[in-house]
Amino acid sequence: MSAFSRFTRPGRSITAAGAVAALALALAACGTSHDSSSMPGMDHGTKTTAPASPKATSSTDGMPGMGTMATGNGLSAGKDGYRLASQDAHLPAGEPVAYRFTVNGPDGSPVTGFSLDQTKRMHFYAVRSDLTGFQHVHPVMADSGTWSADLASLTPGSWRMFASFTPADGPGKGKDFVLSRTVTVPGNATKTPLPAPAASAEVDGYTVTVKGELMAGMAHPLTVSVSRGGAPVTNLEPYLDSYAHLTAFHEGDSAFAHLHPTTGVDAGHGGPRLPFHAELPTAGNWRLFLQFQTGGKLHTTALTLHVG
């Protein structure tokens, strides 16, 4: 499936009705990043991590009328006969590490054929249970179908590993899947409270501002604007077929959502205003991770969105 066809997925034309919840405005506390898509520096809390919620393994597959339900909330290891399988239930803290996994098809054997989506055959996210740690990487597949995701150093605690893919053949051909498993990283785990909801975040001298009114399960426009020193930024470079890559994770259960741009990229540069399609399935706080590229450098930042 091409990236652009994802922008026009059916069922996305739900009209807003009723009250909407406004985004609260405040600066994100964790707006800094560095030159990679991982944010290990965001772990700096003091409280003890609670055990992962048992609800984290539940699935909301089959809820009608929700565009993000095309892939579900990503909290299940299996869907429609496909299964994310891995021996790596534990990974060490404090060092770069590879997470190995297969996607097993309905016949039980590893899938080896995947379609390109946003220029990659596999998108992989590692997210800590308190939504501090975030890594977005593109694993490499061996001929056997075993994928290896190279991760930067993990902090102790519970992490959820998400694989996002589209089978190139078989019963799931052309369908978008997001499946996940949890991993325990042993050690003295601390929990950072989620920063207050915010409308903007800073990264590498850029200010990223998000405007939109979000309501659970409803499709709403969300506009991302990028500025630098108060001036609009217009030299955003394409990154994964988009001028900004937005993923969101729900506080408490780490439910996954990918926000889709409503415009494609062209040969030129993008910015400062980027329209997105936001459809977050459940109410509460979501941690929104924003990634964009300038001068060949990837910038990653995050802010908290409140969904009413």
Minimal distance in Å, beta carbon 242 to Cu ion?
10
CB of 123 or CB of 250, closer to Cu ion: 123
CB of 126 or CB of 215, closer to Cu ion: 126
Per CB under 5 A, the segment of 79-87, 121-129, 176-184, 224-232 that binds Cu ion is 121-129
Residue among 216, 217, 199 at smallest CA distance from 208: 199
CB of 121 or CB of 175, closer to Cu ion: 121
Residue among 167, 184, 171, 179 at smallest CA distance from 84: 179
Residue 173's identity, in one-letter code, is: K
CB of 125 or CB of 206, closer to Cu ion: 125
Write the CB contacts of 50 (distance below 8 Å, at least 6 apart in sequence).
191
CB of 238 or CB of 252, closer to Cu ion: 238
- Dihedrals phi, psi of 155, to nearest 5 degrees: -95, 155
- Can you say whether residue 279 is alpha, beta or left, with left for phi > 0 and alpha for psi between -120 and 50 degrees? beta
Site residues (CB under 5 A) for Cu ion, limited to 248-307: none
CB of 139 or CB of 156, closer to Cu ion: 139
Minimal distance in Å, beta carbon 38 to Cu ion?
13
Residue 259's identity, in one-letter code, is: L
Minimal distance in Å, beta carbon 165 to Cu ion?
10
Radius of gyration of the chain (CA): 18
Alpha-carbon span 122 to 127, nearest angstrom: 16
Per CB under 5 A, the segment of 75-83, 102-110, 123-131, 230-238 that binds Cu ion is 123-131
* Strand bridging mode 134-137 / 177-185: unpaired
Quick check: 6 binds Cu ion (CB under 5 A)?
no
Alpha-carbon span 263 to 278, nearest angstrom: 13
Residue 45's identity, in one-letter code, is: G
* Cα-based angle 14, 18, 21 (whole degrees, multiple of 5): 95
Minimal distance in Å, beta carbon 120 to Cu ion?
5
CB 278 within 8 A of CB 16: no
**Residue nearest Cu ion by beta-carbon distance:** 123
* Cα-based angle 113, 245, 45 (whole degrees, multiple of 5): 110
Minimal distance in Å, beta carbon 136 to Cu ion?
5
Neighbours of 57 (CB within 10 A): 14
Per CB under 5 A, the segment of 59-67, 115-123, 181-189, 191-199 that binds Cu ion is 115-123
CB of 79 or CB of 123, closer to Cu ion: 123
CB of 123 or CB of 128, closer to Cu ion: 123
CB of 70 or CB of 116, closer to Cu ion: 116
Quick check: 123 binds Cu ion (CB under 5 A)?
yes
Alpha-carbon span 82 to 292, nearest angstrom: 31
- Dihedrals phi, psi of 187, to nearest 5 degrees: 135, -175
Q: Binding-site residue total for Cu ion (CB under 5 A)?
A: 1
Per CB under 5 A, the segment of 18-26, 120-128, 167-175, 206-214 that binds Cu ion is 120-128
Per CB under 5 A, the segment of 7-15, 39-47, 122-130, 205-213 that binds Cu ion is 122-130
- Write out the H or E segment, with its range, that includes residue 7: helix 3-7
Per CB under 5 A, the segment of 78-86, 117-125, 171-179, 187-195 that binds Cu ion is 117-125
Site residues (CB under 5 A) for Cu ion, limited to 37-96: none
Residues lying near Cu ion in the complex (CB under 5 A) are found at 123
